[in-house]
Structure 1
Amino acid sequence: MRIPVRWLVQQLELTEEHRVLTPEAIADAFVKVGLEVEDVHPLGPVTGPLVIARVAEIEELTEFKKPIRYCTVEIGEPEEDGEPAETTQVVCGATNFVEGDLVVVALPGAVLPGDFTIAARKTYGRVSNGMICSARELGLGDEHAGILVLPSDDDVAPGDDAIDLLGLTDSVIELAVTPDRGYCLSMRGLARELACALDLGYVDPAAIEVPAAEGKAAAVTVEADTGCTRFAMRRVTGVDPTAPTPWHIRRTLMLAGIRSISLAVDVTNFVMLELGQPMHAYDTSRLRGGITVRRARAGEKLLTLDGTERALVADDVVVADESGPIGLGGVMGGDHTEVRPETTDILLEAAIWDPANTARTVRRQKLPSEASRRYERVVDPALPPAALERAARLLRQYGEARILPGRTDEGSPTAPAPVVMAMDLPDRVAGVRYARGVTAGRLQQIGCRVEVGAAEDGTPEVTAYPPSWRADLAQPADLVEEVLRLQGYDTIPSELPKAPAGRGLTGAQRRRRAVSRTLAEHGYVEVLPFPFVSPTVWDAFGLPADDVRRTTLSVLNPLESDRHALATTLLPGLLDAVTRNVSRGARDIALFHIGQVVLPRAQSVPMPDPGADQRPTDEELALLREAVPAQPVHVAVVLAGTHRRAGWWGPGEQANWADAVQAARAVAEAAGVELTVEADTLAPWHPGRCARLSVGGFPVGHAGELHPKVVEALGLPKRTCAMELDLDLLPLVERKPIPAVSPYPPVLLDVALVVDNDVPAADLTSTLRTGGGDLLEDLRLFDVFTGEQVGDGKRSLAYSLRFRAPDRTLTVEEATAARDTAVAAATERHGAALRG
């Protein structure tokens, strides 16, 4: 919302203290009461001679390819002794003015916005002593199609200073109005907020006397279920179609970013800016029969004012006559009945439309407008009669119109329900003891009618009757917010609550942080991928039709229409992140994410609605928990490209399934549990390079290389690997590790065992670990070898074993005995043989 400061201040009853209000002070006042000021735009600056001039003579220079005019302009009035008016000559390329028009001329020495200095110069074979200015060149708007032509006025004469007349010392304040404050999309609402912020008196421009209706202005029928709660009309006739729009109205529209069209249209737009009530003007001669507000019918079309023919659907609400739709309710009027240059008989409309239906129509038709912007944020339902009267009187004042006595007014406003609040509730919420009368006074400032009384227990309370434009005041908390924001949020003390002793992070929270820190230390980067998936992703993953991961929950209002399902696994979002990074030039990628997945229950349970008037009962809470789907916390990683980069130290190493498994081991170590790794087959992993991750014999996840078809379908780098496990399935371990440094040296021994190719390395490792007993401190596989030396169908696995005794120096003999015991267990269980 853009509003000129001069216009805004005119509605305030200024005191001596506030006689001069700077734009910066007004912006600060708006911020104080919770409005967002985007910018303050000073007009100009314009310095030097800028005068009003009358075009006395126009010479068309026809020898050039484009229109060029050599204009003689009067920059002063004729002298009383009969001397002619002072004139000067200016070259101009605009053609939207004629002899006798009043224009604005920047004379040599003037400096226009953009530090553009005007000087006398020769151009097109003539000397131009200045420049005839457009609105854009003066900083009044974006219109640059022609120069600025002022309406003839007895108070304006050639030679007058144009800087003051045009208000070029004014400023425009631009505000971002939130959806809950639709009344601020008007000068009326903003002036009221400014008056509250500065504790000044306020003149309501809508408080005009509206005469009683003497019959109807037009026959109107409002059908049910249209969302139109009020539809009012007023008729004026005898409008002078040549009457210009007064300068103060044109200026206001230009500064607000609205193009001036004609007196009738400009008046409706001006009233919308002034009061906040969108209006529409119909050419009465083009209407056929009575007017009906109804839903659109199948196959109907409407040519809107923007020149686009629109196909209507049943959800669109239209204003129609006997010929069909003539306007799209709450959005835009139709081209057929618009006011034209020759129109003299006008039917004015002011209506109240349903915000939700208006918003749907705007998005469906892709047709935002100044009217719909206000209707989407709720318009004061009491405004239509006052807005019609204001517009009709302006047309009578400036267009010599005659106001016909009838007024149509279908529907009536519903007054907001009164709200009862304890008098000291704002004090208790803010932690501040306000002065007596502050609560009632602030509520009256925003337009509430206030009654002060006492509750049954004798405590003071206030009953507030919200005004028609504040339907959002529905509960005591809303009244508290109004009192606090008008008193100033800066007056509320900031005090940090004291944390009670003995509380801190839960075990699950500590584990999650430990896992996140561990993965980051291992070189993974945390990302927050999109939590919704498309059902087609499961086909790309190669999941069977009966896979439980295909069973998802859909959201009713998805951010993206093709991604409406809540993810049952973290992999789709992470793999999307991989694809996005690759498309931006990344080659070596290691990402992780810790987050919730949503697992629907086998049988859906209806969601109860316990209400908000009291705490739900234990039975209701149990039903709520049962209706909510399971949402366990998972951790997942993805790797692509080189996991260990090449450098002066040697060649790099391609990320493989073992790195994904190692990430799972790091997670298990951070969680304080022991992870078992076994071969498995599960989409979307490669059937020969997939590991099942288990804790205590219970599966908790999988890791490995993705299937080549999945990699191709998703456009991933070759050999992309991934790991995902369910953190909530891991037992919570209370870990308070104390570093222990042994004073005794270890004994390091190596052993190479030959086993069949089908013996999993993990099984052999587990057997050696068990057989080594308490003296075996660490065990690491460091080499795998196949070849003629070990025989067909065989492979050699070489391990490094570290033995240490906690209470003495371990002898080589003891360590060798422990190693032999471990080898014997491997021989017995897996048929292993020492490699010669």
Structure 2
Amino acid sequence: MRVPVSWLTEHLDAGEIGPQELAEAFVRIGMEIEDVQPLGEVTGPVVIGRVAAIEELTGFKKPIRYCRVETGEDDLPADRSTDEDGSAAGDHGPDALKTRGIVCGATNFAEGDLVVVALPGSVLPGGFAIAQRKTYGRVSDGMICSARELGLGDDHNGILVLPPATASPGDDARALLGLDDTVLDVVPTPDRGYALSIRGLARELACALDVPFGDPASLDLPEPEGEAWPVRIEDPSGCSRFVLRRITGLDAGAPTPWWMRRRLMLAGIRSISLAVDVTNYVMLELGHPLHAFDTSSVKGDLVVRRAQPGEKLTTLDDVERALDPDDMVIADDSGVISLAGTMGGASTEITTESTDVLIEAAHWDPPSISRTARRHKLFSEAAKRFERFTDPQVCAVAVELAARLLRRYGDGSIQPGRTDVGHVEPNLPVTMPIDLPDRVAGVRYDRGATVRRLGQIGCKVTVGTSDEGIALVTAVPPSWRGDLLQPADLVEEVLRLEGYDCIPSTLPPAPAGAGLTDTQRRGRTVSRALAAAGYVEVLPFPFMSAETWDAFGLPEDDVRRRTVKVQNPLEADKDQMASSLLPGLLETLQRNVSRGFRDLALFHIGQVVLPGAAPVRMPDLGVEHRPGDEELAALEAAVPAQPVHVAVVLTGQRQRSGWWGSGEAAS
């Protein structure tokens, strides 16, 4: 996740701290930092300009415009443009304005727009120096910049156009754009979904640096007055909470404020429209994805359910998708309108005419969303967060924050109703001996370190004593930490926050060896003998396809067809354990022959799987207790025989021909 340092430190009382110190703090607590990327250095005069006039130049292979740009300079003449021969080109702008003439190839801006202008003498990222130069028959007195040219992102589809009233012509663009910022590319581990947000990362830094943390989710929620829209959850196992807020009278054409566009840009998200940008901003800030529906396109009550056989949905990327009965969806009277937790439907998409909007936040079942994303190959930012677990208690806060932003910047009216259906079970308390982290790490931590660290991550902690007189700590995990389920999870939190570097890296003494077993000696003897005879050992793919034996021409009742099927195969067409080493060896032989090798002698020593004629069903044992003798015996009886076999294959000449005589064919 790309994170601007200025946004991250907004919620920390850390004083003056540099990007490198923040990166080192993340690494200390187990967060990987892929990159620390300062924005490209910009020097010289870079100012805000207002486009006063645009002249379309003709006769060129691509669109070229000659723009008169007001840059707030009083010492400029009214017109500085010249033709190729150096003579005045005439009046290309209002006489009352003192403007610069700039040639530009972009077409995404109009007269009156605010743009960023690099004046002659400035140097942009990458050492790109700006100077007055003659081009396309005019003298270009600077450059109108795109976001990529300023080092703010990768978007180079057009000029960076600022919202009206953001600044005045002549203002310093470097201060407005925050070009002294740095972006951290943080890669949280998959079990830490909360860390895919500014809220989660700032809390982690507060723990690492021992500084106060201001939670952006601390909002006062008004009491709802009825429902925003009727909603019914038919599958509570797939969706435990569903929250809606309605905003009416929204100015569909209202621009996204610059500070929000900048943060989205630095995070790698393209600005689309105010409503969409607000949902993306709240997702990055709080870690909870939102979805916006065009209320006028919603027909009847919303129903949260599994997809029905044969249903289809055209998603926002204009792809019609056949839904699976395992997919969680949101539907109305017209059918499915959203693939839940993954991507919305095109029928209720927010458009440039949407003035009535429903903002939705829900808590989805992570495994369901993960299966849906992989089934449809839709790895959206929303799915990435939902499959890692989101905070169910932040749903109402997320829609409220989005609604307030739309009211502030889009002149919308928040309707008094709020829909909040479903029920979320609180996290169960976890109890452990208070000195368990010390014993696991082999370190005696300071008194109170365990309680303090668990409190920092949001746990409600109580200390007590067992009947045996052992000091115990009981922690109720916060709503955003669905991964804290057992004492080992709490121990990990204490150890990483106290610092892995404090744990001594002392290797235990290795026990005396007993030498090789008879089986190991026998295997090595066979391997050495085959190698001495000219064979090369290979490691074929250990799984095979059921169709392989058809190619071998084996009868249906051949014992080699009896094998074990893999539930989650690496390759869909090879979903069976090998009952013989020959198919894998022959496949390796074929691959080498196709690459020009003609004389081959290969061997492999490995296990095969030979289930009996009446295989025993594998028992499903729990993990709450140690298995007994009967359970272990049942497990061993269900495991098929796995003897070690040796196989060889040859092709071409076993012994090559030469001055010593003719070769010997492998056959």
Q: Structure 2 length as normaliser, TM-score? A: 0.93
Does residue 32 in structure 1 map to residue 28 in structure 2? yes
Evaluate the alpha carbon distance shift between residue 209 and residue 522 of structure 1 in structure 2; reply closer, same or farther with a 3 A threshold.
farther
- Of residues 318, 324, 328, the one that matches 2:329 is 318
The AA in structure 2 aligned to 1:121 is R
Does residue 589 in structure 1 map to residue 585 in structure 2? no
User: Contact 2:133–2:139 at 8 Å: present in 1 too?
Assistant: yes
What runs of 5+ residues in structure 2 fail to find an aligned partner? 79-94
Q: Distance in 2 between matches of 1:318 and 1:604?
A: 40
User: Contact 1:594–1:635 at 8 Å: present in 2 too?
Assistant: yes
What is the number of residues matched between the two proteins?
A: 649
Q: How does 1:297-446 map to 2 (within 5 A)?
A: 297-446=308-457
Q: Distance in 2 between matches of 1:534 and 1:565?
A: 6
Does residue 653 in structure 1 map to residue 667 in structure 2? no
Evaluate the alpha carbon distance shift between residue 511 and residue 160 of structure 1 in structure 2; reply closer, same or farther with a 3 A threshold.
farther
Q: What is the deviation of 1:437? A: 1.0
Q: Deviations over 1:272-320 (max 9, x none)?
A: 0111111111111222222111222343322211112222232222211
SS at match of 1:433: coil
Q: What is the deviation of 1:218? A: 0.6
SS at match of 1:10: helix
Q: What is the deviation of 1:267? A: 0.1
Identity %: 64
> Which residue in the other structure is 2:104 paired with?
92
User: Contact 1:220–1:408 at 8 Å: present in 2 too?
Assistant: yes
- Of residues 496, 517, 536, the one that matches 1:525 is 536
User: Contact 2:657–2:664 at 8 Å: present in 1 too?
Assistant: no
Q: Deviations over 1:15-43 (max 9, x none)?
A: 4xxx1222x33222222222222222222
Q: Distance in 2 between matches of 1:143 and 1:441?
A: 44
Evaluate the alpha carbon distance shift between residue 243 and residue 622 of structure 1 in structure 2; reply closer, same or farther with a 3 A threshold.
same
Q: Deviations over 1:506-563 (max 9, x none)?
A: 3323433444445445444333221110011112223233221110110111111111
Q: Distance in 1 between matches of 2:439 and 2:609?
A: 40
Q: What is the deviation of 1:98? A: 1.4
The AA in structure 1 aligned to 2:116 is V
Q: What is the deviation of 1:422? A: 0.6
Q: Distance in 1 between matches of 2:126 and 2:600?
A: 50
Evaluate the alpha carbon distance shift between residue 501 and residue 464 of structure 1 in structure 2; reply closer, same or farther with a 3 A threshold.
same
Evaluate the alpha carbon distance shift between residue 109 and residue 77 of structure 1 in structure 2; reply closer, same or farther with a 3 A threshold.
closer
Q: What is the deviation of 1:646? A: 5.1
Q: Deviations over 1:231-257 (max 9, x none)?
A: 100011121222110112111212222
Q: What is the deviation of 1:475? A: 0.6
Q: Distance in 1 between matches of 2:598 and 2:173?
A: 64
User: Contact 1:226–1:293 at 8 Å: present in 2 too?
Assistant: no
Q: Deviations over 1:709-745 (max 9, x none)?
A: xxxxxxxxxx4xxxxxxxxxxxxxxxxxxxxxxxxxx
Q: Distance in 2 between matches of 1:580 and 1:460?
A: 63
Q: How does 1:239-638 map to 2 (within 5 A)?
A: 239-501=250-512, 503-638=514-649
SS at match of 2:384: helix
- Of residues 58, 65, 68, the one that matches 1:72 is 68
Q: How does 1:98-109 map to 2 (within 5 A)?
A: 98-109=110-121
- Of residues 172, 178, 182, the one that matches 1:171 is 182
Does residue 14 in structure 1 map to residue 14 in structure 2? yes
User: Contact 1:77–1:85 at 8 Å: present in 2 too?
Assistant: no
The AA in structure 1 aligned to 2:123 is V
Q: Deviations over 1:647-694 (max 9, x none)?
A: 6x54573452xxxxxxxxxxxxxxxxxxxxxxxxxxxxxxxxxxxxxx
Q: Distance in 2 between matches of 1:161 and 1:513?
A: 75
Q: Distance in 2 between matches of 1:295 and 1:28?
A: 45
Q: What is the deviation of 1:613? A: 2.9
Evaluate the alpha carbon distance shift between residue 613 and residue 286 of structure 1 in structure 2; reply closer, same or farther with a 3 A threshold.
closer
Evaluate the alpha carbon distance shift between residue 447 and residue 517 of structure 1 in structure 2; reply closer, same or farther with a 3 A threshold.
farther
The AA in structure 1 aligned to 2:375 is R
- Of residues 43, 47, 51, the one that matches 1:47 is 43
Q: Structure 1 residues 469-478 or 538-547, which shifts more?
A: 538-547
User: Contact 2:331–2:337 at 8 Å: present in 1 too?
Assistant: yes
SS at match of 1:202: coil
User: Contact 1:226–1:294 at 8 Å: present in 2 too?
Assistant: no
User: Contact 1:236–1:402 at 8 Å: present in 2 too?
Assistant: yes
> Which residue in the other structure is 1:2 paired with?
2
The AA in structure 1 aligned to 2:602 is L
Q: Structure 1 residues 89-98 or 612-621, which shifts more?
A: 612-621
Q: Deviations over 1:313-357 (max 9, x none)?
A: 322222112222211111111112111112221111111112222
The AA in structure 2 aligned to 1:540 is A
User: Contact 1:226–1:317 at 8 Å: present in 2 too?
Assistant: no
> Which residue in the other structure is 2:150 paired with?
138
SS at match of 2:462: strand
- Of residues 152, 164, 171, the one that matches 2:164 is 152
Q: Distance in 2 between matches of 1:363 and 1:452?
A: 44
Does residue 124 in structure 1 map to residue 136 in structure 2? yes
SS at match of 1:143: coil
Evaluate the alpha carbon distance shift between residue 320 and residue 609 of structure 1 in structure 2; reply closer, same or farther with a 3 A threshold.
closer
User: Contact 2:236–2:422 at 8 Å: present in 1 too?
Assistant: no
Q: Distance in 2 between matches of 1:586 and 1:430?
A: 54
> Which residue in the other structure is 2:86 paired with?
none
User: Contact 2:565–2:575 at 8 Å: present in 1 too?
Assistant: yes
Q: Distance in 2 between matches of 1:340 and 1:60?
A: 30
> Which residue in the other structure is 1:765 paired with?
none
The AA in structure 1 aligned to 2:6 is R
User: Contact 1:206–1:275 at 8 Å: present in 2 too?
Assistant: yes
User: Contact 1:4–1:252 at 8 Å: present in 2 too?
Assistant: yes
Q: What is the deviation of 1:502? A: 5.4
User: Contact 1:77–1:157 at 8 Å: present in 2 too?
Assistant: no
Larger relative contact order (CA 8 Å, sep ≥ 6): 2
Q: Distance in 2 between matches of 1:441 and 1:102?
A: 51
The AA in structure 2 aligned to 1:333 is G
Q: What is the deviation of 1:614? A: 2.9
Q: How does 1:670-681 map to 2 (within 5 A)?
A: none
User: Contact 1:642–1:652 at 8 Å: present in 2 too?
Assistant: no
Based on CA coordinates, which of the two structures has the bigger radius of gyration?
1
User: Contact 1:639–1:655 at 8 Å: present in 2 too?
Assistant: no
Q: What is the deviation of 1:644? A: 3.7
Evaluate the alpha carbon distance shift between residue 651 and residue 453 of structure 1 in structure 2; reply closer, same or farther with a 3 A threshold.
farther
Q: What is the deviation of 1:457? A: 0.9
Evaluate the alpha carbon distance shift between residue 615 and residue 300 of structure 1 in structure 2; reply closer, same or farther with a 3 A threshold.
closer
Q: Distance in 2 between matches of 1:487 and 1:655?
A: 68
Q: Distance in 1 between matches of 2:217 and 2:652?
A: 69
Evaluate the alpha carbon distance shift between residue 416 and residue 130 of structure 1 in structure 2; reply closer, same or farther with a 3 A threshold.
same
Q: Distance in 2 between matches of 1:577 and 1:380?
A: 49
